Amino acid sequence: MIHQPRRPAGARGRAPAGAVAVLLAVLAGCGGKDGPGPPAPVPTSTAAAPSRSACEAPQKPPSRAPILVTHFNTGSAPYVFGERCDDLAKMRKAFNAVIVKAGDQQLVEDARAAGLSVYVEMDRKSDFARGKDISGDVQEIVRQVKEHPGTIAGIRVADRLNGGGLDPDEAVGYLEATGGVFHREIPGVPVFADVVNWELTCGKKGQRNCVVLRFTRYRFEINKVLTRLYRSGPLELQGEDPAVVGAAFRQARALWPRPFQLLARTAPSFDEATFPGNAAAARRRTDTVARAPLQAGADGVDLWAWHRPYRGAIRTFLDKDGSTNPFWDQLVSVAVKAGVSA
């Protein structure tokens, strides 16, 4: 979880293709009151019902670890290249999981049938900070999980939890109101939140000054605040530097040991018609967003986004006609080596 704060890495302000925003996705304990850390997941005992989907299953089920996940939103236009099942079949070459909007169980079934684990997302931290009641949205996810046991791999409750205007007390309160409820009512389903931490990379070559950042609106994006959330990130670099990413995730892993799960979330998709680089650039980008954090102890990577409208363009990993490119080939190679590609 690390952040170069001049450009938000959340959904409303993504890094350009040439920058890397490595976020920490955390397995939120949500016990509140600065407890000893997140509890170990409780295994679920109910098997998933047979799939009701027209999407074709892979010949061989992919490995579930490490987690290689991308954002699929609604799984419908404008978030797809073409037909949903075709997109999912392409996606599973480089990923074994998707993040989708909560509430659409058919989308969950389609992704699962295609061989992908499914994480549903909600982000109501701004409403929570304004005093709005978010319990209805929380209970809708509880209902979805209970009515379709075994189909949802996890729940993502926030983007930039400590970088979106909430102070540490509000962030802990939000985790209690979301993840705390999920842990009590649907134990065994991991809860994730994106958190930001520039402290893991500031002061290093090409990165921002540590002292200056402590007096900005990014003052809560530090180890102390993340550790408090752990007891109850995006890493955005000014260039693509696998060494800096690796060092940051080794430090993060030491600060927040398992069962706290660390995922490196980045925005390496591009809005050009074709990948804007050669084979060497593709490898360096993949080293930065995937190989380096995985080798440093991250539990997975979260890459934004599959086919996402953004500022008048479309962000993708494939070329805009759906064809492959050197960067996509590198992502597939990571998945193949990890046993994730299907």
pLDDT tens digits for 54-75?
899 998 888 888 999 999 999 9
What would the pLDDT profile of 242-289 be if each residue is shown by its tens digit? 887 888 788 878 877 877 788 888 889 999 999 999 999 999 999 999
Q: What is the pLDDT of residue 225?
A: 47
Q: Is pLDDT of 228 > 50? A: no
The residues facing 119 across adjacent strands are 99, 154
Asked if 102 and 120 touch (Cβ cutoff 8 Å), the reply is yes
Measured from the Cβ of residue 255, the count of other Cβ atoms closer than 10 Å reads 16
Question: In this structure, are residues 265 and 303 in contact, taking their beta carbons and an 8 Å threshold?
Answer: yes
At residue 161's C-alpha, the angle toward residues 155 and 163, to 5°, is 155
Contacts of 100 (CB under 8 A, 6+ apart): 72, 73, 74, 75, 107, 108, 111, 118, 119, 120, 121
* 30-44, 181-195, 239-253 — most confident range: 181-195
Determine the pLDDT at residue 245.
80
Please state the CATH superfamily assignment of the domain spanning residues 20-42+58-338 in this structure. Glycosidases (3.20.20.80)
Q: Measure the CA–CA gap between 59 and 7, rounded to whole angstroms.
A: 42
Indicate the domain borders of the chain: 20-42+58-338
Token pair of 206 as six digits:
């090409």
pLDDT of residue 15: 42
- Given this model, what pLDDT does residue 198 score? 47
Report the candidate in 164, 158, 207 with the shortest Cα–Cα distance to residue 8: 164
Q: Is the dihedral of CA 219, 223, 226, 227 positive or negative?
A: negative
What is the dihedral sign for C-alpha 319, 322, 323, 329?
positive
Residue at token pair 């069962």: 259
Instruction: Check pLDDT > 90 for residue 30.
Output: no
Per DSSP (E only), the strands in 12-110 are 20-27, 67-73, 97-101
How far, in Å, CA of 91 to CA of 329, rounded? 12
CA angle 147–262–170, rounded 5-degree value:
75
DSSP secondary structure, 93-105, as one string = TT-SEEEEETT-H
Q: pTM score > 0.75 for this model?
A: yes
Determine contact, residues 9/303, Cβ cutoff 8 Å: no
* Beta-sheet pairing, 97-101 with 117-121: parallel
297: left (phi over 0), alpha (psi -120 to 50) or beta: left
pLDDT tens for each residue of 290-335: 999 999 999 999 999 999 999 999 999 999 999 999 999 999 999 9
Of the chain, the end-to-end C-alpha distance in Å amounts to 29
For residues 90 and 324, is the Cβ–Cβ distance under 8 A? no
For the chain, the average pLDDT equals 79
Percent of the chain at pLDDT above 70?
Answer: 70
Spell out the SS3 assignment of 270-338. ECCCCCCCCHHHHHHHHHHHHHHHHHCCCCEEEECCCEEEECCEEEECCCCCCCCCHHHHHHHHHHHHH
- Alpha carbon separation from 100 to 84, 97, 192 (Å, rounded): 13, 10, 13
Residue 336 neighbours by CB under 8 Å, 6+ apart: none
